[in-house]
Structure 1
């Protein structure tokens, strides 16, 4: 009834730009929403339910691409495939240079897992997706029981509404800037687990019991849980450590203040905390609760939240940052994120209530959520009378978790620990790293043995220098191949740069003869362009997928030989002229016969 056409590509929202720059194997920026049913999962039915869900939320069918100034999301023809859980929870979904969807649906026993890279959506978007997925699954598996298909959201919401960048929509540069004093918060320092695998501790409690305690103290449930976590962290601190405050980052759903149907990121955050050890004050739980309550009341106003949101967007719109190349921008964003981490002790994400129609309640046990983290994080959500908690950390110690549950039980809230429901044998995949480390060690060993043999057997010849240089060249070529293995087109472009520059360095080291520019440069340029055509043919790449790499390779093969000819660096002109001429014709053919794709790719790659 209403248009459902997606944009072929779109800019990242404000939060997604940070996630794309800072994600890593240790901090994947992936979070998991799950639903625990009262029955075993049927994978074939779950696949059908996922297919139906994707039809409603096609914005999730996107892959991350890299431009000159920013990453962006591109529409993809890839389709998700349901699998039984097979890897560590919240493992990497965004792998640089790999064209893959940024979410995954798995199952284990009676649990449906939805994992998503945070650059794609936030907790609210993920909640809507898994609600729809669970509803579709139950309708398909219990069709014979007469279970009706109930609409969970507004049917008038279009795909364009789902793709709406609400950060930009509500950005107001005229709002006054808030004044904030930077404070270094207490940092949790514990022994990390081997390989730093993610440690998950789940539990449940009664929503009614939590509400009863909250009302008793005259606070909201979020304030109560925030104060409990602050106090739980404090119980592990020494007197010296009390000089720094305990500060939590608490995400805030901006849709509650600014109307939006967006499925993209649209959240802010506040940073409640407490300074322990102050003279003249009793550091009891009531004091923490009182201060946290005051902070929430003061900082959850629409004006305060808007000021914080504007600050983040203004940083993104800074002219220097916008026009800085992505390779320079990413390290700056990472450094800024690292500095911001010093202002926070831990994270508490309350995803609020997951609501489902009464018809589905007999089949659902509970919903839950947790996230990957390089530190300690608590996530919570509720369904019916069940509040689900999940601590994640990469530390061996679970004292803070224990303290948190003891505090709740001391307040009269019974907490039941749950064993994380995923296969015990799942481990992080380090096979690729092990191979690369083994190869690196082999190259170093070869270099060291060469030096040893040279020093002992032929001390006057110094041939080990060339052996070391050869080992370094081999390592560099394989390192490029390893790190760019997910994208053969990009791999070929990097090999073009490495081989041609490496040949020039070798030529200089052996006494300049010019063979590197006279023969190696034009030969490699032509070979790489031919290999790119072969790769694009074998892998059935569309023009949009291969265009930028063809343009870069052809441009490099035209400009560099002609420049070296003009500077009289190249002394044998025939190979260089042949290389530049053929490359120019190749580039011209791309512009003439694939003009539309050429313009689109150039605009995407160079958007600011």
Structure 2
């Protein structure tokens, strides 16, 4: 029987960071992929994806915006498999656009799974891709006798998948914060047009494990040491004043039992000060090993996790409006980045049923990042390493593999095939920029005429102001083009307040409040009704916009009526009555949806 899931859910602690800080350059998207030993059949892959989503329906969510936090909402959208055509790890979360937060593409023998980090972490993505690949291979080879093996725990429910483990394991723990010195920052020329640079190689798991054991450390400690040494070889004497610090994500499921498919990870920050300590490989490795042993304990991990959640739970931050909150989160993230040089993510081993292994070459992973990042995962004896950055240099990557060679480990260079990115010409953006320039040129010309001829009536200034008002309304329409309901609401605010300011600046005749304000309020409600019907919105989708527009149409005209500002009262009275009745109808006839939407939008 199909299990039910929540209609909406709050973001976990990590997701709140990604929803606030993602942008076109730093998309917070990562790719997990699988290279098969056969060409991918898109029809079979689509069938496999549909089957996978029946098992993991939590991925069928879209990001929505509330008053205090973003949240994820269940969606009826269904993903369509497509041939890869964009730059890897391109933007998936577009503000105001109702779209899924993951994408499945293929190219040649490769199946790509890209996902916005607010939806899941590396562990959740691994489980999804394993299920997807298994389903694809089963559908492709069941005629050959391949069995449909169950990968997940059959007792796991959808509620387990949606569980916020951060909240589950949170407890108040006070910890004295150590002041961190600023880490060395990699400052190289950016790649042309900001394209993501991807450098991938494959190592032998046995070779890396053998050398790590000889040195008495884990594979992660060994490779983290190599990474630090590779960075150090590019540093000048002046730069050595700052330590090299890596951010290393830690899967919290290894410390706290959880079946959650949401984000549930933390990180540690091993570092080394080359100006004050020995510069040998052994010295760096011993320091990294000591740091890992100290920090990778349940107590220390819990302390760090609780610090982050306590910040989220702070009453002042919780009650701050979302836009202000996002500014604070962005500032905090920018400040924290100064304590980190680069990122090293170990996604661990990917395991598949024995009978499926002959069909698979390897798995791989990499991510979009504003810094340099190294991601790795293994399958069988193949350890896939993926460096990503937007720097116009590969010296650190070269140093990394040179040091591995010095340690007796050879790296096989792979040249994955990527299609030429289908970069859209962004015609609409170009047209809007031309339109903006023409508006500016016209406004400047009218102002110049005003200063040249000094007319008694400053009509050029009024004309320039009119052009500016028109441009502002157009800009709002363009910026909010993905959500017509929100677009109309913004137009209501801009037009009504703009007309009031215009009326004041021309000597106040009252036309703005007597006619424009009430008529625009009622027109917006009518247009929202038309949009809802045409786009077939559910009550949950249009509810908040009707509430905002109706509330605006009641409160502002009523205040103006009571204060005597409005002279011709009949139109404003009709507006207040109509808007009030719309609000009353929503509450009476859509009570359940109304309460649910208010709870979603105003949850703290």
SS in 1 for 2:17: helix
SS in 2 for 1:425: coil
Shift in Å, 1:431: 4.4
Instruction: Kindly report which structure 2 residues correspond to 1:272-421, keeping only aligned pairs within 5 A, or say none.
Output: 272-278=270-276, 281-421=277-417
Shift in Å, 1:424: 2.3
Instruction: Kindly report which structure 2 residues correspond to 1:180-329, keeping only aligned pairs within 5 A, or say none.
Output: 180-278=178-276, 281-329=277-325
* Partner of residue 154, structure 2: 155
Shift in Å, 1:216: 1.6
* Partner of residue 72, structure 1: 71
TM-score by length of 2: 0.98
Distance in 2 separating the partners of 1:538 and 1:110: 41
Name whichever of 346-355 and 406-415 sits farther off. 406-415
Shift in Å, 1:429: 6.7
SS in 2 for 1:286: helix
* Partner of residue 583, structure 1: 579
Distance in 2 separating the partners of 1:239 and 1:490: 54
* Partner of residue 51, structure 2: 52
| 1:349-400 Cα shifts (integer Å, max 9, x gaps) | 1101001111111110110011111121111101010011111111111111
| 1:130-174 Cα shifts (integer Å, max 9, x gaps) | 00000000000111111111111211100001011110111111x
Instruction: Kindly report which structure 2 residues correspond to 1:421-432, keeping only aligned pairs within 5 A, or say none.
Output: 421-427=417-423, 430-432=426-428
Shift in Å, 1:430: 4.5
Distance in 2 separating the partners of 1:573 and 1:245: 70
Give the counterpart of 2:469 among 451, 468, 473. Answer: 473
Structure-2 change in CA distance of 1:429 and 1:170 (3 Å): farther
> Contact (CA 8 Å) 2:85, 2:420: kept in 1 or not?
no
The question of 1:449 aligning with 2:445 is answered yes
Distance in 2 separating the partners of 1:425 and 1:81: 19
SS in 2 for 1:315: helix
| 1:497-536 Cα shifts (integer Å, max 9, x gaps) | 0000111111112111111111100110011000000000
Structure-2 change in CA distance of 1:343 and 1:436 (3 Å): farther
> Contact (CA 8 Å) 1:87, 1:428: kept in 2 or not?
no
Shift in Å, 1:118: 0.5
* Partner of residue 558, structure 1: 554
Distance in 2 separating the partners of 1:6 and 1:271: 36
Q: Which runs of 5+ in 1 are unaligned?
A: none
Shift in Å, 1:421: 2.8
Shift in Å, 1:195: 2.9
> Contact (CA 8 Å) 2:68, 2:602: kept in 1 or not?
yes
SS in 2 for 1:549: helix
Distance in 2 separating the partners of 1:560 and 1:176: 47
SS in 2 for 1:142: helix
| 1:561-592 Cα shifts (integer Å, max 9, x gaps) | 01011111111101100111111111111111
Distance in 2 separating the partners of 1:566 and 1:437: 44
TM-score by length of 1: 0.97
Instruction: Kindly report which structure 2 residues correspond to 1:158-173, keeping only aligned pairs within 5 A, or say none.
Output: 158-173=157-172
* Partner of residue 493, structure 1: 489
Name whichever of 178-187 and 445-454 sits farther off. 445-454
> Contact (CA 8 Å) 1:91, 1:428: kept in 2 or not?
no
Distance in 2 separating the partners of 1:435 and 1:128: 44
Distance in 1 separating the partners of 2:570 and 2:456: 41
The question of 1:544 aligning with 2:543 is answered no
Distance in 1 separating the partners of 2:503 and 2:457: 20
Q: Which runs of 5+ in 2 are unaligned?
A: none
> Contact (CA 8 Å) 2:34, 2:364: kept in 1 or not?
yes
SS in 1 for 2:365: strand
Instruction: Kindly report which structure 2 residues correspond to 1:138-153, keeping only aligned pairs within 5 A, or say none.
Output: 138-153=137-152
Shift in Å, 1:460: 7.0
Shift in Å, 1:438: 2.7
Distance in 1 separating the partners of 2:516 and 2:416: 57
State the number of aligned residues: 604
Distance in 2 separating the partners of 1:385 and 1:92: 33
Give the counterpart of 2:502 among 476, 485, 506. Answer: 506
> Contact (CA 8 Å) 1:492, 1:528: kept in 2 or not?
yes
| 1:22-48 Cα shifts (integer Å, max 9, x gaps) | 111111111110001111110000000
SS in 1 for 2:262: coil
SS in 1 for 2:564: coil
Name whichever of 450-459 and 463-472 sits farther off. 450-459
Shift in Å, 1:455: 4.6
Structure-2 change in CA distance of 1:182 and 1:464 (3 Å): farther
Distance in 2 separating the partners of 1:53 and 1:31: 19
Shift in Å, 1:440: 2.2
Distance in 2 separating the partners of 1:235 and 1:433: 43
Structure-2 change in CA distance of 1:410 and 1:119 (3 Å): same
After superposition, the CA RMSD in angstroms is 1.5
Shift in Å, 1:284: 1.6
Shift in Å, 1:467: 2.9
Distance in 2 separating the partners of 1:213 and 1:438: 60
| 1:477-515 Cα shifts (integer Å, max 9, x gaps) | 111111111110011100000000111111112111111
